Amino acid sequence: MPISGLQHLTFCERQWALIHIEGEWSENVLTVEGKQLHEFVHGQGSESRSGVRVVRGLRIRSLEFGLYGVADMVEFRPSDDGAKITGHRGLWRPYPVEYKHGRKRNDNANEMQLCAQAVCLEEMFGVKVSVGAIYYGQPKRRGEVEISDSLRAELVSACSRMRTLYDQEDDPRPTVGNHCRNCSLGDKCMPDVISGDRSKSYVDGIMRDLSDQNPVEGLRR
């Protein structure tokens, strides 16, 4: 499961299903701005800065969680109980930094995404990653985030929810609300049409009436 899906799932389960099950995608100004920022960060390459090895656009994965993705930036900091990294002497501890073009959100989606990167790095390098950071374009500042037990528990629950949705026969129903205004998939989702569609309950009602009148006939129909 792509780590980016955690954002979509937190925003709207139907949006997550449209993107990650149905293969739908549309851009709006918010998605384009986010994409441009990530492409800019990844394009900066790798470097060493004040004793810290900085790697951008690092491919990561966790077999345990079934997650994969690309970390915007990982700082490898010298640490006595860190891991070896190819081509560099000493031991290093990964410190993931996620870039967001907007402001801090009210929900925990960004923090959970950072936590997903941390568990991937832990599995790949065999060291504990207990802290990382999120950089916000507004106000152009990074804030440190503890990869706490509660954040890890939220991640476990989100991964389990994604698996449940994958196994479900139907996509989640639209949850019409203010978030729909910022959703790039409005024309694919058609929230007003779908949420107002009562044809299924109408047909179910007829079938129920038929079963009540004649259980055997009702079942045959």
Q: Could you tell me if 134 and 97 are in contact, meaning their C-beta atoms sit under 8 angstroms apart?
A: yes
Q: Could you tell me if 47 and 54 are in contact, meaning their C-beta atoms sit under 8 angstroms apart?
A: yes
Those residues whose C-beta lies under 8 Å from the C-beta of residue 214, and which sit 6 or more positions away, are: none
Minimum CB separation of residue 43 from ligand SF4 in Å reads 30
Minimum CB separation of residue 175 from ligand SF4 in Å reads 5
Contacts with ligand SF4, residue ranges (CB under 6 A): 12, 14-15, 18, 174-176, 179-180, 183, 185-186, 189, 191
- Total length of the chain: 221
Provide the residue type at 99 as one letter. Answer: Y
CB closer to ligand SF4, 194 vs 203: 194
DSSP-derived secondary structure letter, 88: E
Minimum CB separation of residue 134 from ligand SF4 in Å reads 23
CB closer to ligand SF4, 147 vs 158: 158
Name the nearest CA neighbour of 137 among 8, 5, 37: 37
Minimum CB separation of residue 185 from ligand SF4 in Å reads 5
CB closer to ligand SF4, 176 vs 210: 176
Distance CA 3, CA 112 (A): 9
Minimum CB separation of residue 178 from ligand SF4 in Å reads 9
CB closer to ligand SF4, 141 vs 179: 179
Q: Could you tell me if 2 and 20 are in contact, meaning their C-beta atoms sit under 8 angstroms apart?
A: yes
